[in-house]
């Protein structure tokens, strides 16, 4: 099933949903219309019980997303910019809170808002030719869609400051070394590796994945004691759900589990 609405395309293949940024003539730069469509798709995924993994990618293999459409931004006044950021940040926060794994498949450049979109995902897979960065300080502004908040949580405070202050591009191998991306694949195998990884995640217990994601995300801002309490309650709750019985039974019976 494919839903194509302008510059954001949404496709469903079994348990895997794919959002494609489709504005290759503008390097998939994000417009207000695209943010509205992204928010709409996130709402569809929220209410769907069938999607187990969501993948986000760019239309052209040469670029993931070049960031916000600057031509739109410069035409706004301060109040309009603030309102835009409220809406855009809300979309990324909803995306981040989805109870399923969200994977950014980054080929080519992921710059500014493009990298911030990837940072709102659970995992980032990169092509060997990928390059990413937050170049906003060179434009006289700062990252505004979560870059200053989410990047330190991925790569550490000092590294995040260096990347934001300098605005430099990080190539794929360095991105993996500093923990910005989880894996790097060669260009010719990138598509197949992304699909393979998404299908692997989709084979796991959806309730366990949802609880694991919630516990990890909430635990990031909790004390050790509070985080352990979150984990303890989530673990115990698993045993009230059918997936734990199915998963453990399948393990003991030496078969593959069939999670619903």
Do residue 184 and residue 231 come from a single domain?
Answer: no
Percentage of the chain exceeding pLDDT 70: 98
Q: Which of 40, 46, 96, 136 is catalytic?
A: 136
Which of 202, 222, 237 represents a domain boundary (last residue)? Answer: 202
Residue 260 lies in a domain: no
What average pLDDT score do residues 212-222 get? Answer: 95
Do residue 135 and residue 227 come from a single domain?
Answer: no
Continuous H helices in 156-189:
157-166, 172-177
Residues 6+ apart with CB under 8 A from 216: none
How many beta carbons lie within 10 A of that of residue 70, not counting itself? 13
Band the pLDDT of 3: cuts 50, 70, 90: low
Quote the pLDDT of residue 83: 96
Mean pLDDT of the chain: 95
Do residue 170 and residue 216 come from a single domain?
Answer: no
Band the pLDDT of 2: cuts 50, 70, 90: low
Do residue 130 and residue 237 come from a single domain?
Answer: no
Quote the pLDDT of residue 192: 96
Quote the pLDDT of residue 49: 85
Which tens digit of pLDDT belongs to each residue from 147-170?
Answer: 999 999 999 999 999 999 999 999
CB 132 within 8 A of CB 169: yes
What average pLDDT score do residues 197-218 get? Answer: 96
Quote the pLDDT of residue 1: 57
Q: Which of 44, 96, 116, 246 is catalytic?
A: 116
Do residue 162 and residue 195 come from a single domain?
Answer: yes
CATH number of the domain to which 221 belongs: 1.10.12.10
Residues 6+ apart with CB under 8 A from 42: 91, 94, 95, 98
Do residue 58 and residue 84 come from a single domain?
Answer: yes
Do residue 218 and residue 161 come from a single domain?
Answer: no
Q: Per the structure, how many domains does the chain have?
A: 2
Residue 258 lies in a domain: no
- Please tell me what DSSP assigns to residue 189: G
Do residue 64 and residue 95 come from a single domain?
Answer: yes
pLDDT at 208 over 60: yes
Do residue 181 and residue 132 come from a single domain?
Answer: yes
15 backbone dihedrals φ, ψ, rounded to 5°: -85, 5
pLDDT at 5 over 70: no
Do residue 6 and residue 54 come from a single domain?
Answer: yes
Q: How far apart are CA 203 and CA 149, in angstroms?
A: 32
Name the residue range of residue 7's domain.
2-202
Do residue 121 and residue 228 come from a single domain?
Answer: no
pLDDT at 62 over 90: no
Q: Is 253 one of the annotated active-site residues of the chain?
A: no
Q: Is 182 one of the annotated active-site residues of the chain?
A: no
Q: How far apart are CA 135 and CA 137, in angstroms?
A: 6
DSSP labels, 215-229? HHHHHTTS-HHHHHH
pLDDT at 104 over 70: yes
């Amino acid at each position: 099933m494919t839903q194509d609405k302008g510059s954001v395309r949404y496709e469903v293949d079994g348990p895997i949903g794919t959002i494609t940024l489709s504005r290759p003539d503008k390097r998939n730069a994000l417009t207000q219309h695209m943010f509205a469509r992204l928010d709409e798709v996130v709402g569809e995924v929220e209410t769907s019980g069938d999607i187990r993994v969501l993948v986000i990618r760019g239309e052209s293999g040469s670029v993931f997303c070049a960031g916000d459409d600057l031509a739109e931004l410069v035409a706004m006044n301060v109040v309009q910019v603030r309102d835009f950021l409220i809406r855009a940040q809300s979309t990324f926060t909803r995306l981040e809170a989805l109870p399923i794994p969200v994977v950014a498949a980054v080929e080519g450049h992921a710059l500014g808002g493009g990298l911030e979109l990837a940072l709102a995902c659970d995992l980032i897979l990169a092509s060997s030719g990928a390059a990413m960065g937050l170049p906003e300080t060179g434009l006289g502004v700062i990252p505004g869609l979560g870059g200053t908040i989410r990047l330190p949580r991925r790569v550490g405070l000092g590294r995040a400051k260096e990347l934001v202050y300098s605005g430099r591009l990080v190539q794929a191998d360095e991105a993996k070394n500093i923990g910005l991306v989880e894996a790097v694949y060669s260009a010719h195998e990138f598509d197949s590796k992304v699909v393979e990884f998404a299908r692997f995640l989709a084979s796991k217990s959806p309730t366990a994945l949802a609880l694991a994601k919630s516990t990890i995300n909430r635990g990031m801002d909790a004390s050790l004691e509070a985080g352990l309490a979150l984990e303890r309650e989530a673990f115990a709750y698993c045993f009230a759900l059918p997936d734990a019985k199915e998963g453990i039974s399948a393990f003991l019976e030496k078969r593959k589990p069939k999670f619903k």
